[in-house]
């Protein structure tokens, strides 16, 4: 089946956070929304059909998770990434950020140091600080072309100097779009093993990979690394199901699985809703082709953005992401402060982008744009930015 990703979907007046909650982050809702990481694309029709069948039942009571639910996730991992997961090591959770909060409390103590790699998904820093832990940052290095790599010396020195207990890895990386190479993952994982630092690998973007690149699950590198790594993943980004609020966590140590399960019970959030149950299992069993075609469409959108900037707004630089549907735009040539840039994009360009400084101090001068939308939406947003820049 060929899927149509150019279809225009009206998301206004349906309580969309992306379209109707901009005034909580920006000056108003009267902006072109290219920020929060959900797609303006319909999910796979196979998922819609499965959920429609659930609606027709007319009863939406409590549900349990059959073995097939976890088996579908494990089989997807083996089929797509050649990594075999025991379904019994998996547990459901409401989302990656709630998972991080629980794990931080279970694996560390107050004022323990936790390491992240900036610029990175900003809830990482928030959840560390909100749980009264020390935030330690290993800043990623950007070369003259805009390509980011890991400063391994700084990574290890920060661990030693701050007695780091936990490292939260973003793989693939949001917002810079890096799909980490095997040797990069091995090096940071082995440093963590050397210094007895536990690793939480957030792999929620693992399915959104551009042609020519391959995601490597951190836990697949070796048995020793697998035992030291807790992996978070979900079909929510892949299939535009974030509103169903459910994800998976893979635990290498049984007692940690049990402790996590106990905490979910204490909070009474162990059950997921009947729609997420149906949608997730359908996604992992029937939607390989949809994801493959989605990635090709996203790849074309990225090429469009790159070419548009080169031809129309050369002051704004970017490089093609290796994964995710997010692009990291460098506005530094405009010589604006972070406040001035944010105000300029909202008031002059009338667009909502994620401000780079949200992701860390080394994100100042950058903006994150979401390109998971029909092409016409990109055209509108980029032309608004072009007109605003030309009128400076």
Is it the case that residue 306 has pLDDT exceeding 90?
yes
List residues bridging with 116 in a β-sheet.
137
Is it the case that residue 37 has pLDDT exceeding 90?
yes
pLDDT 10s digits, 48-71: 999 999 999 999 999 999 999 999
* Mean of per-residue pLDDT scores for the chain: 97
pLDDT 10s digits, 172-219: 999 999 999 999 999 999 999 999 999 999 999 999 999 999 999 999
Asked if residue 241 lies in contact with residue 279, where contact means CB atoms within 8 angstroms, the answer is yes
Q: Name the nearest CA neighbour of 76 among 199, 207, 177.
A: 207
pLDDT of residue 261: 97
Whole-angstrom CA distances from 277 to 75, 78, 295 are 16, 20, 24
Sorting pLDDT into bands at 50, 70 and 90, what band is 326?
A: very high
Mean pLDDT to the nearest integer, 100-109? 98
pLDDT of residue 111: 98
CA triplet 328, 148, 340: central angle to 5 degrees? 40
Is it the case that residue 292 has pLDDT exceeding 90?
yes
Query: Which residues make Cβ contacts (< 8 Å) with residue 215, sequence separation at least 6?
Result: 81, 171, 172, 179, 203, 206, 207, 209, 323
Sorting pLDDT into bands at 50, 70 and 90, what band is 271?
A: confident
Is it the case that residue 122 has pLDDT exceeding 90?
yes
**Percentage of residues of the chain with pLDDT beyond 90:** 97
pLDDT of residue 123: 97
pLDDT of residue 91: 97
pLDDT of residue 75: 98
Sorting pLDDT into bands at 50, 70 and 90, what band is 44?
A: very high
Cis peptide before 262 (omega within 30 of 0): no
Rounded to an integer, what distance in angstroms lies between the CA atom of residue 127 and that of residue 133?
A: 9
pLDDT of residue 1: 85
Rounded to an integer, what distance in angstroms lies between the CA atom of residue 336 and that of residue 356?
A: 13
Rounded to an integer, what distance in angstroms lies between the CA atom of residue 19 and that of residue 59?
A: 30
Rounded to an integer, what distance in angstroms lies between the CA atom of residue 108 and that of residue 198?
A: 10
Mean pLDDT to the nearest integer, 343-358? 98
Q: 213-219 contacts: CB < 8 A, separation 24 or more?
A: 213/179, 213/322, 213/323, 214/179, 215/81, 215/171, 215/172, 215/179, 215/323, 216/81, 216/180, 216/181, 216/182, 216/185, 217/77, 217/81, 217/83, 218/169, 218/171, 218/185, 218/189, 219/83, 219/250, 219/252
pLDDT of residue 61: 94
pTM of the model: 0.97
pLDDT of residue 272: 78
Largest Cα–Cα distance of the chain, in whole Å? 60
Walk me through the domains of the chain, giving residue ranges and CATH numbers: 17-44+289-390 (3.90.1150.10), 60-286 (3.40.640.10)
pLDDT of residue 330: 98
Mean pLDDT to the nearest integer, 159-183? 98
Mean pLDDT to the nearest integer, 344-371? 98
pLDDT of residue 389: 97
Mean pLDDT to the nearest integer, 238-248? 95
Mean pLDDT to the nearest integer, 255-263? 97
């Amino acid at each position: 089946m060929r899927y149509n990703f150019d279809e225009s979907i009206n998301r206004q007046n349906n309580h969309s956070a992306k379209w109707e909650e901009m005034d909580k982050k920006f000056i108003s809702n009267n902006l072109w929304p290219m920020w929060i990481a959900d797609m303006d694309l319909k999910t796979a029709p196979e998922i819609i059909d499965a959920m429609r069948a659930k609606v027709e039942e007319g009863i939406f009571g409590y549900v349990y998770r059959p073995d097939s639910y976890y088996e579908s996730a494990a089989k997807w991992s083996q089929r797509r990434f050649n990594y075999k997961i025991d379904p019994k090591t998996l547990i459901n959770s409401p989302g990656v950020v709630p998972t991080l909060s629980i794990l931080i409390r279970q694996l560390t103590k107050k004022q323990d140091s936790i390491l992240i790699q900036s610029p990175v998904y900003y809830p990482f820093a928030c959840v560390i600080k909100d749980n009264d832990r020390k935030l330690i940052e290993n800043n990623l290095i950007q070369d003259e072309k805009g390509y980011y790599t890991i400063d391994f010396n700084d990574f290890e020195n920060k661990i030693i100097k701050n007695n780091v207990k936990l490292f939260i890895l973003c793989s693939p990386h949001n917002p810079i779009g890096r799909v980490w190479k095997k040797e990069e993952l091995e090096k940071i994982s082995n440093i963590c093993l050397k210094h007895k630092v536990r690793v939480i690998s957030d792999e929620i973007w693992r399915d959104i990979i551009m042609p020519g690149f391959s995601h490597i699950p951190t836990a697949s590198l070796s048995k020793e690394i697998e035992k030291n790594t807790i992996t978070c993943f979900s079909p929510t980004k892949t299939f535009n199901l974030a509103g169903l609020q459910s994800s998976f966590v893979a635990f290498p140590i049984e007692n940690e699985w049990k402790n996590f399960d106990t905490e979910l019970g204490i909070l009474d959030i162990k059950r997921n809703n009947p729609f997420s149950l149906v949608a997730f299992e359908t996604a992992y069993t029937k939607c390989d082709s949809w994801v493959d075609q989605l990635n090709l469409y996203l790849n074309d959108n990225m090429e469009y953005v790159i070419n548009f900037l080169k031809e129309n707004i050369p002051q704004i630089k970017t490089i093609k992401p290796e994964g995710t549907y997010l692009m990291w735009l460098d506005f530094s040539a405009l010589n604006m402060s972070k406040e001035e840039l944010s105000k300029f994009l909202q008031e002059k360009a009338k667009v909502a982008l994620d401000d780079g400084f949200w992701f860390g101090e080394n994100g100042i001068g950058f903006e994150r744009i979401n390109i998971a939308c029909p092409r016409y939406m990109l055209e509108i947003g980029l032309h608004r930015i072009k007109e605003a820049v030309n009128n400076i």
